[in-house]
Structure 1
Amino acid sequence: MKFIVLIMLFVSFLLSAPNALARWNDCDGKMLATSNPSDIIEEYNNRVTVYIPIKVQVSDSLIDCADEIWVEDVYYYSMVFSGPTQDKYAKLYDSQFKKIKVRNGIWRSDLTERSTQMWARLRHYSLFPAGAYTGHVIVSVVKNNEVIEQQYIDLTYYSEPQVSISLSNSSKGKVSGDSGNYHIDLGELKNNMRFNWGVKILSNSSYDIVVDSEYNGLRHETNTQALIEYSIKFDNSQISSSERLYRSYNFYPGVKNKWYGFEFKLGNVELMPAGTYQDNLSLTVYPR
């Protein structure tokens, strides 16, 4: 009989222990985790860095009892963003852009304020290939390593189609200017003279190129009726200065840095009025 009583007491203790722990660890309140794409920060230096916001707001009652915020990926051990060409791996930073420690796939931050700002950082060696990058994380409010409140949120960064044009190294001694505005001094004009130069185009998407002459040739500075035609050769396509060149370049989502060569060839300059001739030639790149 004593043996039976002892067993009953033991069972009773096991059943009542979780309830006692729940009362000791009782923690009520609300949590809201958000990520606003309009708050994304982009930095362009030697490589592109993107900070995607995670904002965690809690009620006063949670601050009084919970002690940490946990962030972890929904599907992976690391924080993974799927992109148009490859997955990108993020690191988590605090409001001061200091790295938050991660252990066993969980980033842990102390809960001390009603509103806590975090940043998921993505990096790429060049422009991000155009398209959407999406991650999925679980944000939890925790007390003594036990989850009190939990929320799933999606993190999204959209890389806009971008393009930049720069003067090629071989042309820097012959062409002056920068930031897309360049000046070429042909010197004394001669029949059939040629001038070669080149540009580099960096783009994270496919693009179209239009080459167009404003005056349809070299125009005299005062006598606008005096016009010297010339031909333009661009990327193995040739047109006269009175025509417009249109080229379309398609490539798989990614980043391309390509060199393009120009060649100018003048026509007949004999018997043309003396003076200075000028044209404004535009090369316009339209990313898509």
Structure 2
Amino acid sequence: MKSVIYTWLILSFLLAAPKAMARWNDCYGSMLATSNPSEIIEEHNNRVTVYIPIKIKVSDSLLDCADEIWVEDVYYYSMVFSGPTQDKYAKLYDSQFKKIKVRNGIWRSDLKDRSTQMWVRLRHYSLFPAGAYTGHVIVSVVKNNEIIDEQYLDLTYYSEPQVAISLSNSSKGKVSGSNGNYHIDLGELKSNMRFNWGIKILSNSSYDIVVDSEYNGLRHETNTQALIDYSIRFDNTQISSSGRLHRSYNFYPGVKNKWYGFEFQLGNVELMPAGTYQDNLSLTVYPR
């Protein structure tokens, strides 16, 4: 009888031991990686910087056993975003916007909390050319360099068509105003007098330009029937004050300021009533 009991105890120990070791080595749980486009951060300084969010959430069981989060590009050793004109290379930052180290194409971060915030940084020397920028990454939760769970995640940044207009440097002493509203004082009006100025347009897309006169000439401030014709030459195209100019410009890679010149020439002022004359000349840029 003693022999039977002794044998049973040894067998029970040998059968139970592997189960205990399996529980010690086991690591399991759930992970969710997301990227919300509404949380994208844009910074406009000397160059444009974009931060695309990645948020990783893990279950308590996974937090207790895993030790790292890995992020890697699906296709390349670098993190690459395809864009409308060229590919952009990204870098990965932690929640405090500190650079995460990369080794052999894998960005590694310690797993410390149930929720981890990361930021993918894209940068351009000027406005991003308009369009969608898309990257594809794999987010993994790891224990001892073994992947426990992973998820494929698409990242997207959309650059809206934008345009900015400013005076050229040579015009700042002759033209007053700011923020799109400018004033030119022609002084005493003389027949055929001329005035030149220029503007700079910065755009990340193709655009249309419309130049138009509100009064179809310089109008007397009280005698609205008194009108002095003039002509405008814009980008080597001339129109009369009663006309309307419409030009289309296509976008080419490399966003930079483009200069456009205006040349104003007054018509005949003989026998016109004395007084102050004014017109509102508009230049409107429509990105497309």
Q: TM-score, normalised by structure 2?
A: 0.90
Name 2:251's counterpart in structure 1. Answer: 251
TM-fit CA distance, 1:251: 3.4
Name 2:96's counterpart in structure 1. Answer: 96
Aligned CA distance change for structure 1 residues 30 and 229 (closer, same or farther; 3 Å): same
State the secondary structure of the residue aligned to 2:239.
Answer: strand
Tell me whether 1:240 sits opposite 2:240 in the alignment.
yes
Q: How is 1:222-237 mapped onto 2 (pairs within 5 angstroms)?
A: 222-237=222-237
TM-fit CA distance, 1:218: 1.0
One-letter amino acid matched to 2:128: F
Q: How is 1:201-280 mapped onto 2 (pairs within 5 angstroms)?
A: 201-280=201-280
Give the alignment's Cα RMSD to 1 decimal.
1.6
Determine the C-alpha separation between the residues in 1 that align with 2:167 and 2:20: 73
TM-fit CA distance, 1:21: 7.4
State the secondary structure of the residue aligned to 2:62.
Answer: helix
Determine the C-alpha separation between the residues in 2 that align with 1:187 and 1:274: 13
Q: Deviations over 1:146-198 (max 9, x none)?
A: 11110000111111111111111111111112221111111111001000011
Name 1:5's counterpart in structure 2. Answer: none
One-letter amino acid matched to 2:27: C
TM-fit CA distance, 1:40: 0.8
State the secondary structure of the residue aligned to 1:271.
Answer: coil
Tell me whether 1:80 sits opposite 2:80 in the alignment.
yes
TM-fit CA distance, 1:253: 4.8
Q: Determine if contact 1:205/1:253 at 8 Å carries over to the other structure.
A: no
Q: Determine if contact 1:164/1:203 at 8 Å carries over to the other structure.
A: yes
Q: Determine if contact 1:130/1:253 at 8 Å carries over to the other structure.
A: no
* Corresponding pairs, count: 271
Determine the C-alpha separation between the residues in 1 that align with 2:140 and 2:233: 61
Name 2:165's counterpart in structure 1. Answer: 165
Q: Determine if contact 2:232/2:264 at 8 Å carries over to the other structure.
A: yes
Q: How is 1:143-154 mapped onto 2 (pairs within 5 angstroms)?
A: 143-154=143-154
Q: How is 1:1-288 mapped onto 2 (pairs within 5 angstroms)?
A: 23-288=23-288
Aligned CA distance change for structure 1 residues 62 and 265 (closer, same or farther; 3 Å): same
Determine the C-alpha separation between the residues in 2 that align with 1:89 and 1:188: 57
One-letter amino acid matched to 1:25: N
Determine the C-alpha separation between the residues in 1 that align with 2:254 and 2:221: 45
Determine the C-alpha separation between the residues in 1 that align with 2:230 and 2:92: 57
State the secondary structure of the residue aligned to 1:128.
Answer: coil
Q: Deviations over 1:117-147 (max 9, x none)?
A: 1100000001111111111100001112111
Aligned CA distance change for structure 1 residues 22 and 134 (closer, same or farther; 3 Å): farther
Q: Determine if contact 1:72/1:107 at 8 Å carries over to the other structure.
A: yes
TM-fit CA distance, 1:22: 5.6
Q: TM-score, normalised by structure 1?
A: 0.90
Determine the C-alpha separation between the residues in 1 that align with 2:19 and 2:102: 32
Aligned CA distance change for structure 1 residues 21 and 215 (closer, same or farther; 3 Å): farther
Aligned CA distance change for structure 1 residues 28 and 186 (closer, same or farther; 3 Å): same
Q: Determine if contact 1:142/1:148 at 8 Å carries over to the other structure.
A: yes
Q: Determine if contact 2:126/2:256 at 8 Å carries over to the other structure.
A: no
Which runs of 5 or more residues in structure 2 are unaligned?
1-17
Which runs of 5 or more residues in structure 1 are unaligned?
1-17
State the secondary structure of the residue aligned to 1:61.
Answer: helix
Determine the C-alpha separation between the residues in 2 that align with 1:287 and 1:120: 28
Name 1:13's counterpart in structure 2. Answer: none
TM-fit CA distance, 1:280: 0.9
State the secondary structure of the residue aligned to 1:191.
Answer: coil
Determine the C-alpha separation between the residues in 1 that align with 2:238 and 2:69: 63
TM-fit CA distance, 1:256: 4.3
Aligned CA distance change for structure 1 residues 42 and 88 (closer, same or farther; 3 Å): same
State the secondary structure of the residue aligned to 1:149.
Answer: strand
Q: Determine if contact 2:91/2:121 at 8 Å carries over to the other structure.
A: yes
